[in-house]
Structures are given as C-alpha cells and as structure tokens.
Amino acid sequence: MKKALIALFLFSCAELFAGGNPELRFSESLGTRPTHDQLREAATVFLSDSLYDVDYDYVDGTLFDYLAGKGLWDELLYAIGHIKTLSGSYPDYPRGYHIFNNPLCVVYSSDAISSDRKRELIRGIVELDERYINWPSYNGMGNGASPILEAIRYDDPEMVEYLIRSGDYLHYSVEVLPYTYVAMAWPKNTLSLARSTAVKDILVRHGVPKIHDFPTPVDGWCIADRVRLRKEPSLTGEIIGHLSKDEKIKAKSSGYEREIISGAEGCWVYVDTGAQRGWAFSTYIYCPAILEP
C-alpha cells in the first residue's frame, strides 16, 4: 500500500511538471515552423488553462515561451492576434491566468534579438492587445514580473516612457503589479530599480515619489558613533548634527533611491531624536520593526 501511494505521488508530480495535458507539448504539436491552423489550435489549448487548471509544460513552458524560444516572432504575433479574437469567450483572460507568461516580458528576456527589434515587437504586441501592458507575468513557479519593471531593469528609457504613456501604472490595484510597492526591508519602488539618470528622470516626471512617509514613526537606534545628520538626503546636504551610537531615533520617512556609500548600499532616512531631526544614511541606523540596516 505504501509503495502504491508513493508511486501515485510521483506520477502526480510528473503530470504537474511535465504537462498534465499532452496537447501542451508544443515541441510535438507545433514543431519548428507551425502553420496558422496549428497556431490557432495551440491558442485554444492555451486559453483552456487557468489558475485552477494547471496544465503547464515544464519543458516547453507556455505557448509564448515556446514561440519566443524558437525565434518564431511572426508566429508569436499571429498567435497573440488570434488569442485576442478568441478571448471574448474567455472572460478571465488574462485575469486569473497565473500560469501565464506575459509576451512583453518574454520578448524582453530574449537574448537572441537586438534592443531595436525588442521595441518593434513590444509595440506590435501592444497594438494587437494592449491588455498585456498591465498584467503581471508568472514563470509557473510563483515568480513574477511586469513589462514596466522589465523596461526599467533593462534600462530602456524609450520603452519606459512608452509603457507609462500606454498603461495605467500610477494606480495601485491588487490584481496588477503595483507601480510603486513597499518591501519588508527599506521601502522600495521602481525608482530603486532604475540605473540610469534618464530612466530615473522619466519615473519622477510621471509621479513616482522620491520619498516614502511611514504611516507612523518607526522606533530604532543609531548603530555607529558620530553619524552625520544632514539637511537634505544627499552627501552634499548640509551637516546639521550628529547621532551617537545607541542613540534612540524615530524614522519618519525614507528615500526610495538606493546609493552606495563607503562600500555599503542603503538609502536616506529622515529621523527625529526629539532634540534634532534630519537625514541619516540607513546603514548607520537600525529599526527592528520593519527595517534592516
């Protein structure tokens, strides 16, 4: 009996990770040069999957994964256009499709095409179905991304501007990856992901805040001696005081932009000791409730 249960468990795992539905083995059903008829059939199978029907091929991934992985970009655009025509019959698409790779993110992750070609494909996909702009992408193992975050990570000012103007990122929704989000460590938003000044300037111009005000002050203390307290959150800010080691503070605000100072990465935090207030660098203070030094 015990052996039978183990065998059943292993079979179930194999079905989950190898694709419970054999039709989802795109390498077998589509081959290297699929016809339009084959793509339409694959799109129908793809749309039959949902959050509650986990038929995900561990080898081929989703339909979008497979086509992008084979460099079948024209076929990818055709499939996306056909899915748009069918999706009226699938009202939950793409909402609820957690085993779903956003084609915009799939394009960004490809190393086989140039940046110009990526931009061309992204615009083509948005023209076919603009809903992909606001929907997160999952890799089947619980990890997600979104087009705007990919554009920021790839340091692509042109696409950052394009996606912001095309989407609705500045409004938080629990069903869309938020444009600004707070981590359990120092608060972060898309500004903390940006590397170039060009991308940072675009984000700030479109309303991404530079400062996060905590709902209530956070208790903490200084972990170094003679930590400079500045008037502005910058190394060029005027020094208006110093913090002593173990001195108690209340953190009231945090800068989103990450910096490396004296070899350590952190951000600026507005603190109040009761006797003085100003900006200190996060690596020199500790707030155990929600923050890390």
DSSP letter string, 144-204: EE-HHHHHHHTT-HHHHHHHHHHS-TTS-BTTB--SS---SSS---HHHH--SHHHHHHHH
List domains and CATH numbers for the chain.
2-145 (no CATH), 211-286 (2.30.30)
What value does the mean pLDDT of the chain take? 76
How distant, in Å, are the alpha carbons of 5, 66, 111, 121, 272 from that of 71? 42, 9, 10, 12, 56
113 vs 146, residue with greater confidence: 113
Mean pLDDT along residues 28-35: 83
Percent of the chain scoring above 70 in pLDDT: 69
Confidence of residue 260 (pLDDT cuts 50, 70, 90): confident
Answer yes or no: pTM beyond 0.85: no
**Tens of pLDDT along 232-251?**
999 999 999 999 999 999 99
Task: Report residue 256: phi and psi, to 5°.
Answer: -80, -30
